[in-house]
Amino acid sequence: MFPRSGAKRDDVLSGPGVGLDVGIARVGGGRAIVSHSDPVHGAVRHVAWLAVHVASNDVATAGVPPAWILPTILLPPTWDDAMLDELTSQVDSAARELGAAVIGGHTGVVEGLSRPLVVATSIGVGEEDRILTAAGARPGDAIYMTKWAALEGTAILAEDFEDLLLRRGVPRSTISSASGLMSMVSVVPEALALASAGAVHAMHDPTRGGIAEGLAEMAFASSTYIEVWEDRIPLLESTLEFSSALGFDPLWMISSGVLLFASPPGMREAVERALSGTPHAEIGVVRGPGPRVLMHRRSGRDEVIEEVHPERDELAEVWRRNPR
Statement to judge: residues 228 and 271 lie in one domain: yes
Specify whether 52 is located in the same domain as 163: no
The residue among 18, 60, 46, 31 whose CA lies nearest residue 261 is 60
Structural domain range at position 35: 12-130
What is the domain-level CATH number for residue 190?
3.90.650.10
Check residue 281 and report its DSSP letter: E
Query: Helix (H) and strand (E) counts for the chain?
Result: 10, 14
pLDDT tens, position by position, 117-173: 999 999 999 999 999 999 999 999 999 999 999 999 999 999 999 999 999 999 999
Residues 68 and 172 in one domain: no
Is residue 250 scored above 90 in pLDDT?
yes
Phi and psi at residue 209, to the nearest 5°: 95, -10
**Alpha-carbon gap, residue 210 to 208, rounded angstroms:** 5
Lowest mean pLDDT among 17-21, 209-213, 220-224: 17-21
As to burial, measured by CB atoms within 10 angstroms (0-12 exposed, 13-18 middle, 19+ buried), residue 3 is exposed
Q: What is the CATH number of the domain that holds 61?
A: 3.30.1330.10
Burial class (CB within 10 angstroms; exposed 0-12, middle 13-18, buried 19+) of 202: buried
The total number of structural domains that make up the chain:
2
Q: Report pTM.
A: 0.94
Contacts of residue 78, Cβ cutoff 8 Å, sequence gap at least 6 = none
Task: Examine the domain organization and report whether 266 and 216 are in the same domain.
Answer: yes
Question: What type of residue is 251?
Answer: L
Cα–Cα dist 196/209, whole Å: 28
Q: Residue 203 forms beta bridges with which residues?
A: 261
Which secondary structure element, helix H or strand E, spans residue 235, and what is its range? none
Same structural domain, 143 and 235: yes
**H/E segment holding residue 222:** helix 210-222
Q: What is the largest CA-CA distance in the chain?
A: 59
**What would the pLDDT profile of 272-281 be if each residue is shown by its tens digit?**
999 999 999 9
User: What pLDDT is attached to residue 42?
Assistant: 75
Q: Which amino acid is at 56?
A: S
The band of 237, judged by pLDDT with boundaries at 50, 70 and 90, is very high
pLDDT at residue number 3: 81
Task: Give the Cα separation of 218 and 137 in Å (integer).
Answer: 8
Same domain, 210 and 155: yes
For the beta carbon of residue 8, count every other beta carbon within 10 angstroms: 7
Same domain assignment for residues 109 and 148: no
Q: Are residues 217 and 300 in the same domain?
A: yes
3-state secondary structure of 188: helix
